[in-house]
Structure 1
Amino acid sequence: MAEQRDRIGGRGAQSGAASTRFALPQREVDDDWRDSMRALDGNPPRLRTTVTEEHPRSILTFNQSPDIGFDRSINAYRGCEHGCVYCFARPTHAYLDLSPGLDFESRLFAKPQAARLLRKTLAQPRYQPRPIAMGTNTDPYQPIERRYRITRSILELCLETRHPVTITTKSDRVLDDLDLLAGLAARNLVAVSISVTSLDPVLSGKLEPRAASPAKRIAALGTLAAAGVPAHVSIAPVIPAITDSFLEEIVAEAAAAGVTSAGWIMLRLPHEVAPLFREWLDVHFPDRAGKVMGIVQSVRQGKDNDARFFHRMRPSGVWADLFRARFRLACKRAGLQRQRFELDCSGFIPPSPEGQLRLL
């Protein structure tokens, strides 16, 4: 059995270890020194979240990956205060010489000029519209969105220009923009996916300490569906021997809320996420850490992660086949389907860079 470690409350990551991929300097705290400081000063203060504004030159990112269903995306924030320990985006903080661990969820960056930059891109004569994906790297409705309203400003522009957009989130804060989402949905310009990992609020508090509770996410899906907004429940990620037992119940509750589309994604552990997740297991589930990682490796060709194109999103092996069969049966019982929302790109109205629509 793994040794039980001290817990860092209110955070997903249990350390601030730096990345080793870019030869960044690292510091390791000596246990004797830490114990001495605690004896003198008591426990250290709770980690506070800081936000730095940044001003990039562009905001729309294009990709040609064969593994994902979109070719462009916007991330209005870097880092995510939700603190999901399994988040595959954590390694991006290493590019900033920051830790993919605690820094990723406590040292955040906001891009307040995102909508203005997007307007310039959409106004380019050669721009061809396709759905913009939001929430692909960090959550567009993490807590600081209530202060910055960057996601809302982007949705306002999408409605103004009749540009299609998709949203992925773990927050019921998406309902703050229900007026815009309903307007976009009326023109077939939006689809919203809410990720639900379990239905246990205690477990969710360990996995995703600052995300909305599972009950709030299910309720948000129901509110979206009732308002005519295409809503999708994403069981993501499925964590073997931790959250997979909730698969059928999540499908059933989403269907009861009025959702008609569902999907699932197996846990991915790229780069620094793997040691952070192992550390989390040692803290919260030391009794089954070996079993969890054994199953993870069994569906990833014997490794913590399989980064190959056409494989990274498609786990293989007996366990993966079992999850697929369970998911198909659960959807059949609940009347859900794996639906691709075909959004309308034909009504796009290019804006002027200065902020007014062009005359047609």
Structure 2
Amino acid sequence: MYYPILKNKTNEMLALENVKSHNFIPIIELVSANRMKYDEAKKIFEKIKHENTIMIDIPNYMNNKVIDKYDLIDPRNRIDFFVNFKKEYNNNMIPILSFYYTDNMKKSIKDNITVLNGLLNEFDEIGIRILTDKTFKKDDIEILENIDIFMNGILKKIYIILEFSQSTVNELKYFFDNFEIDKFKKVIVTGEIHTADSFLENDELQCTLFKNKLLDLVHLLKEKYSSKQIEYGDYTVVDKINQFEDEVREGPVFYVPFLRWTTKHGDICKYTAQTVGNMEQYKDLCKLIIKHPDFDQNHCSTCKDIYTLANGGDINYKAGGTWKHRMITHHITTMADYLD
């Protein structure tokens, strides 16, 4: 099973519509309190609720405005939010507990245990998300150690979603060495693929190739710990944090067109145009992609669009956002097939 992490933003939600595979469970981060985007997300949830289970998280690492809007620091409000969300949007929802903090660690532990117990009373399964990246974490592992004593008999109801980056190898090792992972429902190792230490230029393919070291790590963990409970998840082809997320921009934004296309083994080829603002260059990028030995025009709707444009066909191709959701669709389809 594959676990893609998506935000409730328009293009990431649209990407789900065109994924035909059922071998994935999306982890959807509610990070936008914008009402229009929230309603758009609802429409997508309505369409997928009978086909796929979804996981919902309200993460604490992005100055998340959803937390403030619904006062989710309060444990009771957080429980009620998930219960009401399930009733309104998706009966197949699995809530994810991201640990929240106050100034007092003892109170933080108490509040998170309150939310944990409340969710376990309302849901058959829940997730607990551990952000091991030093950039975002506070004391997630410490809280998990404190609540572990309350988990006897219920661990098979819990998915552990464990964040990984190359800077946190020690934290990851600590988790696997100190927790009995086979007692959990699943342990999902997640992270970004296209990181600074994973790319190399590939002149033959005319792209920057990002090796999927995260996938290699999951294979190694499965082998080392002889566990079928360990699963793989990622942020698809998008960045965990959008560098423009909090900027107020006026007028058109010009950038160099690029496409991140996923190979059948989970690596990412980034094809980049030559000049800023010339959207006609998407045609040239598609012509490069169809030369890749893994390319199959019948693989998914995205590959069909790439093939059509590369061969002079008429499709909508000049909007970067359109290509974003197309490439996410392709990535989810590819990884779901690979991990089937």
TM-score normalised by the chain length of structure 1: 0.41
- Greater relative contact order (Cα 8 A, min sep 6): structure 1 or 2? 1
Higher strand share: 2
TM-score normalised by the chain length of structure 2: 0.43
